[in-house]
């Protein structure tokens, strides 16, 4: 603590996020924290811990499980959530498929990405969640740059970018009717680099796939996709072993790896500082569908 009463940039955005976490716990009846095991949700979980300390989290943690996860990430999820002492709710895309709520795409480019929306919204209804914490950041994507911290969703879970509630100072309006909910994004103002610097500062553990490792991969659309049972390779897509790391954690079927030798957090941060491609542009097939891919999915109720 200094006598100049100045907070570093990381301390300032951390304080803003904690304020948001506490506001939701105070004003909503049934919040829930979405957790994917990715770096953003790891930071979210730490911020939640800090917000209510020394009490435990006043809400459960939910993972929308596509069934196409990296095994390292699932193992990490269970361990980390046990450490925090939180209750884990798993919403399963496989179950939505088995129950006929959604139809699985077929072919080599099949993805369960879009199916998650139904699974997510079903879980919101089943558990009557009124606020869902998400780890989306405004620097990730153009549509997200315009989304509020409290993002209102109607009874269909839809986001309407033209009908967003004005959000002033740190006065958030969380009033909803039954069946509606709010997506809350406490780390809206964090950048990818902030996330990594915070992980380093806090000494938080991350899933091993974020660090460079040898992996059998094949090239598709300029990305390295992991060779797994969840993806059917097309003609000419040959499996090679490369030293890679992941910049985002999503489905094995749509998350690409980047070639990297960064085996430590410091090396990852140095690499990100020098990179010239956005994390979603580099590694997410789901965002490459069109200019408005994210906007369209969000309108349907996606994360």
Partner 1 sequence: MELLRFATAGSVDDGKSTLIGRLLYDTKQIFQDQLEAIERTSLQMGNEYTNLALLTDGLRAEREQGITIDVAYRYFATPKRKFIIADTPGHIQYTRNMVTGASTADLALVLVDARNGVVEQSRRHAFLAALLRIPHLVVCVNKLDLVGYGQEAFEKVKAEFREFAMKLDIADLTFIPVSALHGDNIVDRSPNTPWYEGASLLHHLEEVHIASDRNLVDARFPVQYVIRPQSDEHHDYRGYAGTIVGGVFKPGDEVMVLPSGFTSTIASVDTFEGPVDEAFPPMAVTIRLTDDIDLSRGDMICRPGNQPTVSQDVQAMVCWLTEASKLTSRAKLAIKHTTKVARVMVTDLQYRLDINTLHRDESAEALVLNEIGRVSLRCTQPLFFDEYRRNRATGSFVLIDETTNATVAAGMIIGAGA
Site track for partner 1 across 49-88, x = CB under 8 A? xxxxxxxx--------------------------------
Examine residue 204 and tell whether it contacts partner 1 (CB under 8 A): no
Tell me if 80 sits within 8 A of 209, measured CB to CB: no
Nearest residue to 282 (alpha-carbon basis) of 261, 254, 262, 302: 254
What is the C-alpha separation between 113 and 294, in angstroms, rounded? 11
Angle between helices 71-84 and 39-52 (to 10 degrees): 0
Examine residue 189 and tell whether it contacts partner 1 (CB under 8 A): yes
CA atoms within 13 Å, Cβ hemisphere of 130: 12
Give least dist CB 75 to partner 1, A: 25
| Backbone phi, psi, residue 90, to 5° | -110, 120
Binder of partner 1 out of 100, 107, 166, 236 (CB under 8 A): 166
Region of 114-122, 123-131, 227-235, 277-285 interacting with partner 1 (CB under 8 A): 277-285
Smaller CB separation from partner 1, 103 or 290: 290
Residue 40: its H or E element: helix 39-52
What is the C-alpha separation between 266 and 140, in angstroms, rounded? 22
Dihedral in degrees, nearest 10, Cα atoms 145, 150, 152, 157: 80
Examine residue 283 and tell whether it contacts partner 1 (CB under 8 A): no
Nearest residue to 37 (alpha-carbon basis) of 68, 72, 13, 82: 72
Smaller CB separation from partner 1, 41 or 283: 283
Smaller CB separation from partner 1, 13 or 199: 13
Smaller CB separation from partner 1, 65 or 194: 194
Smaller CB separation from partner 1, 65 or 192: 192
DSSP state of 55: S
Give least dist CB 26 to partner 1, A: 5
What is the C-alpha separation between 89 and 33, in angstroms, rounded? 10
DSSP state of 264: S
Smaller CB separation from partner 1, 69 or 157: 157
Site track for partner 1 across 7-46, x = CB under 8 A? xxx-xxxxxx-xx--xx-xx--------------------
Please give the residue ranges that form the binding site for partner 1 (CB under 8 A).
1, 4-9, 11-16, 18-19, 22-23, 25-26, 49-56, 138-139, 142-143, 145-146, 161-162, 164-171, 173, 175-177, 188-189, 191, 193, 275-278, 281-282, 291-292, 295
């Amino acid at each position: 603590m200094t006598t100049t009463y100045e907070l570093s940039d990381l301390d300032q955005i951390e304080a803003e996020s904690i304020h948001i976490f506490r506001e939701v716990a105070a004003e909503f009846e049934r919040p829930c924290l979405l957790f994917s095991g990715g770096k953003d949700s790891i930071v979210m979980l730490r911020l939640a811990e800090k917000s209510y300390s020394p009490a435990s989290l006043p809400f459960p943690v939910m993972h929308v499980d596509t069934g196409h996860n990296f095994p390292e990430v699932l193992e990490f999820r269970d361990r980390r959530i046990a450490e925090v002492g939180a209750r884990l709710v798993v919403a399963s895309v496989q179950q939505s498929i088995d129950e006929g709520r959604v139809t699985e795409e077929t072919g080599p480019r099949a993805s369960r990405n879009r199916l998650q929306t139904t699974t997510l919204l079903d879980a919101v209804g089943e558990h009557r969640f009124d606020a869902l914490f998400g780890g989306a950041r405004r620097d990730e994507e153009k549509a997200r740059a315009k989304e509020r911290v409290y993002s209102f969703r109607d009874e269909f879970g839809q986001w309407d970018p033209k009908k967003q509630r004005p959000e002033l100072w740190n006065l958030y309006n969380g009033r909803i009717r039954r069946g509606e909910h709010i997506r809350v994004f406490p780390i809206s103002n964090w950048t990818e680099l902030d996330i990594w610097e915070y992980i380093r500062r806090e000494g938080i553990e991350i899933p091993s796939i974020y660090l460079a490792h040898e992996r059998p991969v094949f090239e598709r659309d300029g990305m390295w996709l992991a060779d797994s049972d969840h993806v059917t390779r097309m003609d000419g897509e040959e499996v090679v072993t490369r030293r890679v790391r992941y910049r985002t954690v999503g489905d094995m079927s749509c998350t690409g790896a980047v070639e990297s030798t960064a085996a430590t957090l410091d090396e990852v941060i140095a690499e990100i500082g020098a990179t010239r491609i956005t994390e979603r542009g580099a590694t997410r097939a789901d965002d490459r569908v069109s200019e408005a891919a994210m906007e369209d999915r969000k309108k349907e109720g996606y994360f």
